[in-house]
Amino acid sequence: MSRLFLTLFLLMLLVVIGFGMNINGVAKYLFNGTLEALREQQMGGVISLLENEIRGLDAPQRQQRLADIQAMFRYEVSLLPIAEMELSASEQQRLRNGEFVNRSHDQAEFSYHPAHLPGMAWRLQLDYTLSEGDRDFLVGPLALVEKLLAAAPPAQWSAVVAENAQHFGIPIQLLTVQAVQENQLLDEKQLAQLQAGEIAMRFRHNNLEYAFKRLLDSDQVLQIGRIEVPWMLDNSIYFLVALLSMLLGTAIWLWLHPLWQDLRKLRQAADGFGQGNLATRIDISRFSFVKSILEAFNSMARRIEQLVTSHQTLTNAVSHELRTPVSRLRFSLEMLGSTHDETDRQRHLQAMNTDIDELEEMLAELLTYARMDRQGISLNKTPLVLGEWLEEQIHRNQQDCQAIRIHAEGVGLPTAPVTAMDARLMTHALRNLLQNACRYANQQIQVVFAYRDGKHELRVEDDGCGIPEKHHDSIFDPFTRVDASRDRRSGGYGLGLAIVRQVMHMHQGNVTVGHSPLGGAQFVLRW
């Protein structure tokens, strides 16, 4: 679960960091066209004033006038040949075509505008980001306006302002100081700035809305504005927040989609499993966030399928195996009731006892297998000397093998007691293997118990007829007999090897069957 949310957190963090690192580029891409149009609109009047200042002057006079103009402005104002400007060929061509160009150099913003002189253009260094930048932007143009008004009588000021206002993309008009006060266009601090001859500015949403300048110590005030900022720029922060939200939403969707797909697979598999399709499994991607959950479902489904299959097999086999001894018991009972001869009665009673012993033995095997087939049963490993345990098992089983000789050998076994296995379960497994070997061996059985590289190996082989390779896998299934001609009296019940396999599973090991060098079968237990 922590990996799941850590992945989401890192994904969202990467989106936020990436957005923050590229926010200037994103803003430029979204608002560049609108911003350039606004700048062109605002700069039109400034360029018109500059053009009026140099019109009709020769080169030396023009250089002197440019020096005077630069003294009025708080940012760079220069008139340069277009060919000498640090612009691309396409940008230079735009200037020659009468268009303006904005360009950044060394984190400074420059605005280029074509001049009336052939091959020349104006270059103005600007700052559009700070409120003081707006004030600096206005100082020079207002000084040029005051210069124009100083050359005209006050009665013509309105006409001069109206003539130049057409070059500005924003409203410009004359007011009196009294009108500014009466209409409450400025607060007290701004009025004080106005009376002192400074530029007073009003802002809206951090954007300049109005600018006021008292002209030549008169009662006339030049009002610039209202400056209309395009709606998109005025609400740019909301656009950027919306874009970030969309990016985060997309990232979350990309994170959730594979998770949702995996959960849908889990739901479909659960539905199919609930409808009886026990072979249902989920294809798991190695990149899945819920890989452990899906693997747990597959493991559960596999185990349930095995249990149901085992139960069905066991049920069918038990009914088949019980049928014969029960039929013989019924037959013996009927014969016992129809005869009065004591010898026949004893013979039938003996047959009934034999059938009951057979049923009891089979039920014991069934209970043993069923108990081992359940999960959760724990091993009881106790310290014992492995060599002594092997000798004891060979001695016990030799009595049941009659003429068959059992040879035993220990290889690399520790001489001190070790907790290597559950002695009771391993005794049961070895007894089943030796009983099978005794049934089919001709003369000898070989048992080797070895310990190598931290692993135990118990090998039982005989010199009998062996087991065909096609039966090597199925022989460990319950109630499986290799030779169909053998009945339960000669071939057992087919549960012995199934029990051996269960014992090895409980020991986290395995059992395999193969061909013995002696000529018969070879069973190898490893754990």
Same-domain status, 218 and 265: no
Task: Report if residue 171 sits inside a domain.
Answer: yes
Domain edge (last residue) among 377, 396, 423: 377
Task: Report if residue 240 sits inside a domain.
Answer: no
Same-domain status, 411 and 515: yes
Task: Please state the separation of Cα 475 from the chain's center in Å.
Answer: 45
* CATH code, domain carrying 493: 3.30.565.10
> How much is the pLDDT for 321?
66
115: left (phi over 0), alpha (psi -120 to 50) or beta: beta
Domain limits at 62? 1-72+76-126
Task: Please tell me the total count of domains within the chain.
Answer: 4
Same-domain status, 208 and 283: no
Q: Coil, strand or helix: which one is 450?
A: strand
Mean pLDDT by 10 residues, the chain (527 residues): 72 80 65 60 83 91 94 92 93 92 81 93 73 75 91 91 84 91 91 91 83 91 82 70 86 85 90 87 83 89 83 72 77 80 83 82 75 68 89 85 86 85 88 88 91 89 87 78 49 72 88 90 92
What are the pLDDT digits (tens) for 442-472?
889 999 999 888 889 999 999 988 888 888 8
Q: How far apart are CA 419 and CA 384, in angstroms?
A: 7
Task: Report if residue 496 sits inside a domain.
Answer: yes
Same-domain status, 396 and 509: yes
Residue 163 near residue 146 (C-beta atoms within 8 A): no
Same-domain status, 395 and 502: yes
> How much is the pLDDT for 380?
84
Domain edge (last residue) among 377, 401, 429: 377
**DSSP 3-state helix, strand, coil percentages of the chain (rounded to 5)?**
55, 15, 25
Same-domain status, 400 and 522: yes
Domain edge (last residue) among 377, 412, 439: 377
> How much is the pLDDT for 12?
81
Task: Report if residue 413 sits inside a domain.
Answer: yes
Task: Report if residue 460 sits inside a domain.
Answer: yes
Task: Report if residue 242 sits inside a domain.
Answer: no
Same-domain status, 199 and 329: no
Same-domain status, 102 and 158: no
> How much is the pLDDT for 319?
72
Instruction: Give pTM, 2 decimals.
Output: 0.45
Same-domain status, 171 and 101: no
Place of tokens 């697979």: 265
C-alpha distances out from residue 507 to 118, 310, 370, 372, 435, Å: 97, 20, 17, 12, 22
Q: How far apart are CA 67 and CA 62, in angstroms?
A: 9
For residue 228, count CB atoms less than 10 angstroms from its CB and return exposed for 0-12, middle for 13-18, buried for 19 or more: middle
Same-domain status, 53 and 148: no
Same-domain status, 88 and 183: no
Q: How far apart are CA 499 and CA 518, in angstroms?
A: 25
Task: Report if residue 478 sits inside a domain.
Answer: yes
Q: What are phi and psi of 397, to 5 degrees?
A: -80, -20
Same-domain status, 490 and 430: yes
The strand order across the sheet containing 521-526 reads 405-411, 444-452, 455-462, 521-526, 510-515
> How much is the pLDDT for 132?
56
Task: Report if residue 190 sits inside a domain.
Answer: yes
